[in-house]
Structure 1
């Protein structure tokens, strides 16, 4: 892992910029139960947070013992939109972090462009990310935990992977950062415990306001 200065910070969205994972999990548990797939809150955190749509669809199908119909999620979308409209906030301290950063930053999420922009708008963060700095897994062949999305973001902004720092809150995300050869910063101030984010080339932290200093200090392999 290089000690060269960071030239680009790549933020995940859900759980890092916006405090959405708690809200998603609350509705997920209800929706999946109605579909015949019961999950505990701990299972949702461990298996679903940060996972791409294909992964958690497969998990629900496995638990219920039969396939889901194409488009099964569409009737449930209003429930998610309602709770996000009513309760979604920015992650505590993230606005101050964005103000303090002295290097360029962008966003790379497994969510769709539409979902990302809606959540940034709800939390007042949309003005901090122009279109050229928002990247979705829909832009690449494979979402996280594959490295494709992070490599795509770095290439689009002209920064070598080893000079990028990724801020993530899920094992899927930190795995993608490691696979991309980037420095990983695992934020454990949300739902995912520190032990599930720790690993090679990863700095785990639990308060967002710590991030600017950690970026200067650099990553030391765990």
Structure 2
């Protein structure tokens, strides 16, 4: 038996796997108000407010308001327009994402698991991929973030698939030990790599080979 032959479900991360940011909104927002490069990211990420937003304690809007307030305090009242411009940038999905997910669902249960704020569902709808998954797990809705083993156990239970038959694909290695600890298969996925190539070579083609065995 090869590495992925017994897989019944694929649990995909969002940012860095199916979706990418290029920082265009951050840069445009900073330029609009004459803020130094990196000011938005410094005020937004690695903060208590961001952790609260990922856990659903704060809404996405409340978190972004905290970012605006932090910028205003630091830059003499400037920052709210930068946050508006930054928020309007929703990044991009990888090319052919909907088609790739449809191919996966011919063989596997396919779920999304993302450490994200409550804005994610609206983003999925905007990109027209909200119906491309059998299950969608958002940390802000569940109240747990990666790499908590309980989060992965919850996903397996809801999917109705034994943990040992779930493959987790994530771009952050730090997230994978939690999944591995509950018995899931794990695959680190570098943001620059082709997910389509991996799926066709190791999942779809492997299923074809198994059928011929």
Residues 168 and 186 of structure 2 are in contact (CA less than 8 Å); yes or no, is this contact kept in structure 1? yes
Residue number in structure 2 paired with 1:63: none
Residue number in structure 2 paired with 1:29: 38
Deviations 1:51-96 (A, max 9, x none): x933999xxxxxxxxxxx9x62365653332122xxx221134333
1:73 matches 2:73: no
RMSD: 3.7
Residues 179 and 186 of structure 2 are in contact (CA less than 8 Å); yes or no, is this contact kept in structure 1? yes
Mark the CA change 1:149 to 1:24 in structure 2 (over 3 Å): closer, same or farther.
farther
TM-score, normalised to structure 2, is 0.64
* Offset, 1:141: 4.9
* Offset, 1:161: 0.7
1:210 matches 2:176: no
TM-score, normalised to structure 1, is 0.62
Mark the CA change 1:111 to 1:32 in structure 2 (over 3 Å): closer, same or farther.
closer
CA distance in 1, matches of 2:127, 2:145: 24
Unaligned runs of 5+ in 1: 38-43, 58-68, 191-205
Work out which of the residue numbers 191, 194, 198 in structure 2 matches 1:189.
Answer: 191
**SS at the partner of 2:167?**
strand
1:148 matches 2:150: yes
- Mapping for residues 93-132 of structure 1, pairs under 5 Å: 93-101=96-104, 102-112=107-117, 114-129=118-133
CA distance in 2, matches of 1:168, 1:23: 23
Mark the CA change 1:215 to 1:83 in structure 2 (over 3 Å): closer, same or farther.
same
Residues 140 and 148 of structure 1 are in contact (CA less than 8 Å); yes or no, is this contact kept in structure 2? no
* Offset, 1:4: 5.4
Q: Which structure 1 residue ranges, 4+ long, deviate > 6 Å from structure 2?
A: none
1:53 matches 2:40: no
Mark the CA change 1:78 to 1:129 in structure 2 (over 3 Å): closer, same or farther.
farther
Mark the CA change 1:82 to 1:91 in structure 2 (over 3 Å): closer, same or farther.
same
Which structure has the bigger radius of gyration?
2
Mark the CA change 1:162 to 1:118 in structure 2 (over 3 Å): closer, same or farther.
same
Aligned length: 172
CA distance in 1, matches of 2:22, 2:144: 21
**SS at the partner of 1:135?**
strand
